[in-house]
Amino acid sequence: MPRPNSIVTGASRGIGRAIATELARTHNVIGTYRDRRDAAERLRQETGCEIFPCDVSRPEDREALIAFARERFGELDLLVNNAGMGPRERRDLLEATEESFDELMAVNLKGPHFLTRLAGAWMAGRGQGRIVFVTSISAFTASVSRPEYCISKAGLSMSAALYAVRLADAGIKVFEIQPGIVRTDMTAIVEKAYEQKIADGLLPQRRMGEGADVAKAVRAIADGLLDYSTGQVIHVDGGFHLRSL
């Protein structure tokens, strides 16, 4: 039986690397990177994933990625929209710049939204496929020191819902994974502060998440275990989303 084919954006490090590594056990994987060719090469050497340079904010890069996948695979079974970025500098809501806002909207929202349009149309031709949007607890949690990030992830959450509705009749299942506080390069600068908040009771499960935690959720989707749950939001956050008295 042939191996399924997948694309994982932002696969050179962090959550994306963990997802690509997990999927490489069973799938053919194209992992994209933007500016960390060295890290992407290590991923290729360690897992056998193919790598492809792609800035998802650029239409020509998105089109080139899909063309490359068509040439390599012929068919696409799984797209994982993981690529994203935080603000280059955290600033208060009243001081955050339009330049930072535009950059995060382009990378975190516009890029995956329009990449999914390309991939969804391709998958629809076969009448099957799965798509994952990796968003964040910031989709529903206000952090006034990085407003552009929160807004981009909230928008991406709606994008996932829209595609889940639109593509259901085509046999394509769409899911949103909302990671919580995960140990990555992005969170490294505030890791100690998060560790203290977690120790003080921020999370019911008192540890930071790891990329592997998110990868396990993608594994369940990739294996078809959630195929009657299109549109489902999967919290991988140690219980952060829970409310308790």
Burial-class residue 155 by CB neighbours within 10 Å (0-12, 13-18, 19+).
middle
The predicted structure's pLDDT at residue 58: 98
User: Is residue 241 in some structural domain?
Assistant: no
- In whole angstroms, what is the distance from residue 201 CA to residue 196 CA? 9
Beta bridge partners of 129: 172
Beta bridge partners of 51: 31
User: Is residue 88 in some structural domain?
Assistant: yes
Whether residue 149 lies in the annotated active site? yes
Residue 147 domain boundaries: 5-233
User: Is residue 55 in some structural domain?
Assistant: yes
- In whole angstroms, what is the distance from residue 77 CA to residue 236 CA? 23
pLDDT > 90 fraction of the chain, expressed in percent and rounded: 94
User: Is residue 238 in some structural domain?
Assistant: no
The predicted structure's pLDDT at residue 138: 98
Residues 161-216 pLDDT 10s: 999 999 999 999 999 999 999 998 878 788 899 999 999 999 999 999 999 999 99
- pTM, rounded to two decimals: 0.96
Give the position of tokens 């690529």.
Answer: 83
Task: Give Cα separations from 81 to 90, 142, 152 (angstroms).
Answer: 24, 22, 13
How many domains does one find in the chain? Answer: 1
- In whole angstroms, what is the distance from residue 82 CA to residue 176 CA? 11
User: Is residue 115 in some structural domain?
Assistant: yes
User: Is residue 39 in some structural domain?
Assistant: yes
User: Is residue 27 in some structural domain?
Assistant: yes
The predicted structure's pLDDT at residue 190: 82
Which of 33, 149, 194, 228 is catalytic? The answer is 149
pLDDT above 90 for 42: yes
User: Is residue 168 in some structural domain?
Assistant: yes
The predicted structure's pLDDT at residue 184: 87
Mean pLDDT, range 52-62, rounded to an integer: 98
The predicted structure's pLDDT at residue 88: 95
Tell me, what CATH number does 145's domain have?
3.40.50.720
Average pLDDT of the chain to the nearest whole number: 97
